[in-house]
Amino acid sequence: MDPNIIFIDDIEPTQPVDLSQWIRAGKVFNASPQSVRNALAERISLSADARALLPSNDTTISDFLEFRAPRLVKTLQIVSPASCFSDIQANKTVLSMLQDDVPLPAFVSALRSVAGQAILDGKVSIRDWRHSGIFLPLDAIGLWQDMAKIIEAQQAWVKACFWLEKQVQRNPALKDHQDRVERTLAHVPWNQVLGRLGNFISSSETAIILSNEWICDGLIDTMLTALATRLRSANPKRAGEVLLATHLLAEQIVGYEPVDSARLSNELQRCTQHLVKHPGRSNPHCRSF
C-alpha cells in the first residue's frame, strides 16, 4: 500500500484528532500517524446526509436502475491534481453537485492521492478546473468516487437488460427466463457481496452473465459454489462428499498465498477433513475445474 495515498474506505474508528496541530505546521502526510491519516480521510468522505441521497447498498437492482445518475465524463483531464486544491473557501456543496458531471475515476484517484498533503498544507477546497470561480468542498472527492461506482454499475445493468431483450426478440421462448431475471432484479441488492456463495464477487458484478463477454474467475468460483450447494441439498446424507474446488481453493492446495484470507471457503476445510479421515485414499470428489 502506497503511504502517500489517502484512502476513504474501511476507516477504523479512532479517538478524535485535533488537526489544528497538524495543518499549516509543515507536516508531511506520509510521515503522519494513522490516526491523523484517518482524520484527513474523513474530510474527503461523504457525510451521512449526503450518502442518504444516493442508493444504499441494499437498494434492489430494479430500484437502483431508477436512480437518476449524472454523466461520467470520459475526456482526459490535463490539469495537475495538486494544482486543483485551493485555500479559498468552497462556494458549492456536495448536495448541489448530485447532477453535475463526474470526472474520470483515474483523475479522482489522482486527486485523492495528493489530498492528504494538500489538507496539511492548509488547502480547504478544490478549484473546479472546468468552471471559473467555482470552488468545491473537499468531500467532492468522496461524492465522485461513490457516484462513479453507481454510474458504472447502472451502465452494466442497462447493457445487460438490453442484451437480454435482444435475445428474447430473436427467440420468444426465452421470455420466461427474462421474467425470472426481472423478478430476481426486483429483490437482489445492487451492491452486496454474495456471502452465501463464497464472497467471491458482489451482485453488481453479475451483470456480465447477461452478455457475450468473458467471465471472471470470481464469477466462475461463485457458480461452482452454487452448484456444490445444490448438490449437497439434493443429497443431504452425502453432503460431506460433495467437494467442488474453486480457483482460490486450487491455489491454496498447491501452496499459493490466498488473495484474501477472508475468502477461505469451507471447501478447503471439507477437503482437509476428507483427506484426514481417508489418508490412504484419493479423493475423486475434490477436483479443480
- Residue pLDDT, tens place only, 117-153: 999 999 999 999 989 999 999 999 999 999 999 999 9
* Residue where a domain terminates, one of 137, 165, 192: 192
Task: Say yes or no: 108 and 155 in one domain.
Answer: yes
Do 216 and 93 reside in the same domain of the chain?
A: no
Q: How many domains does the chain have?
A: 2
What pTM was estimated for this model as a whole? Answer: 0.74
Q: End of a domain among 143, 177, 192?
A: 192
For residue 238, what are the contacts with CB-CB under 8 A and spacing of at least 6? none
**What rounded mean pLDDT belongs to the chain?**
81
Tell whether 172 and 32 lie within a shared domain: yes
Domain that holds residue 274: 197-288
Q: Assess whether pLDDT exceeds 80 at residue 58.
A: yes
Q: Where among 159, 192, 225 does a domain terminate?
A: 192
pLDDT at 275 over 80: no
User: Model confidence over 197-244: pLDDT tens digits?
Assistant: 666 677 778 888 888 877 777 777 777 777 777 877 877 776 666 666
For residues 162 and 81, what is the distance between their CA atoms, to the nearest angstrom?
Answer: 37
Burial 244-281 (b: 16+ CB within 10 A, else e): bbbbbbbebeeeeeeeeeebebebbebbeebeeeeeee
Q: What cell numbers appear for 252 in the block?
A: 491454496
Same domain, 78 and 10: yes
Higher per-residue pLDDT: 265 or 197:
197
Compare 246 and 48 and report the one with higher pLDDT.
Answer: 48
The mean pLDDT of 164-174, rounded to a whole number, is 95
Query: Same domain for 55 and 133?
Result: yes
